[in-house]
């Protein structure tokens, strides 16, 4: 049984900023029938985007949003209802990972947000970059997170950034099991600054990663930047995942 494929809309932010509707229609024609969205959608309004997604039959399983706490709680939950989300995904930057106390503080925030999300039928996941897999005060930051996060908080594992940090993404997703329902799929040389390439044309071993990801529910293609034409790489990524029997449209 293969996993469904989505595209993180951030990948095509330049294209949607110029022509939102045309870009989304082109993605649907490529075979993408699901998107992961961002809290702001350049080139459109939330109402127009939701209408277009419904017209094209596009699922929106997850979105990158602020945590549903404080002043953000109502707008985030309203957004989730409008797009029919299953997961909220948030992240923190490298300056928040300088000390173990900072990491504990981040975990406390997610532990507060998880029951709020759950009360509204939503899962909450943390999206990693490479800094969560670096040493902080003699400990791996990710291990500190696992120690302090409530088990209700899941992960959207960005497999590329795990490998960029020098770790094995297959081992990470295997360790997490059901706590890693969402996988970000991107490819390239696995260095912090180099442009990325279409999935299947870089250094990551996606058959091994997907085989190890027993709890994964979605493969979400995301290219932060690309060495080639972005839309061509997005289409090639989808084709690779389908042809290799890793995902389905």
* Domain of 10, in residue numbers: 3-248
Q: Which of 168, 249, 158 is nearest to 196 (CA)?
A: 158
Structure tokens at 119: 């009360």
pTM (2 d.p.):
0.98
CATH assignment at residue 177:
3.20.20.150
Confidence of residue 243 (pLDDT cuts 50, 70, 90): very high
Tell me what pLDDT residue 130 has: 98
- HSE toward the beta carbon, residue 21, CA cutoff 13 A: 7
**Interval 213-224 mean pLDDT:** 98
Contact 230, 204 (CB under 8 A): no
Q: Helix/strand/coil (H, E, C) string of 60-96?
A: EEEEECCCCCHHHHHHHHHHHHHHCCCEEEECCCHHH
Number of domains in the chain: 1
Tens of pLDDT, residues 184-194: 999 999 999 99
133-155 confidence digits (pLDDT tens): 999 999 999 999 999 999 999 99
DSSP state of 222: -
Residue 249: the pLDDT is: 86
Sign of the CA dihedral with 3 first, then 172, 205, and 63 last: positive
Percent of the chain with pLDDT over 90: 99
């Amino acid at each position: 049984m293969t996993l469904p494929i989505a595209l993180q809309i951030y990948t095509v932010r330049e294209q949607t900023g110029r022509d939102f509707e045309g870009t989304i229609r082109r993605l649907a024609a490529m075979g993408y029938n699901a998107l992961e969205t961002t809290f702001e959608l350049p080139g459109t309004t939330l109402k127009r985007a939701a209408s277009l997604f419904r017209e094209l039959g596009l699922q929106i399983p997850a979105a990158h949003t602020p945590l549903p706490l404080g002043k953000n709680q109502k707008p985030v939950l309203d957004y989730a209802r409008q797009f029919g989300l299953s997961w909220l995904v948030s992240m923190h930057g490298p300056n928040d990972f300088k000390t173990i106390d900072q990491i504990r503080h981040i975990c406390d925030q997610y532990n507060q947000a998880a029951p709020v999300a759950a009360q509204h039928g939503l899962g909450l996941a943390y999206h990693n970059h490479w800094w969560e897999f670096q040493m902080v005060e003699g400990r791996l930051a990710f291990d500190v997170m696992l120690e302090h996060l409530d088990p209700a908080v899941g992960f959207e594992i960005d497999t590329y950034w795990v490998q960029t940090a020098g770790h094995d993404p297959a081992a990470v997703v295997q360790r997490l099991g059901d706590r890693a329902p969402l996988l970000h799929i991107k490819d390239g040389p696995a260095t912090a600054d180099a442009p990325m390439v279409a999935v299947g044309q870089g250094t990551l071993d996606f058959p091994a990663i997907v085989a190890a990801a027993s709890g994964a529910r979605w493969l979400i293609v995301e290219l932060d930047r690309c060495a080639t034409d972005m839309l061509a790489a997005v289409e090639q990524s989808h084709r690779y995942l389908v042809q290799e029997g890793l995902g389905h449209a």
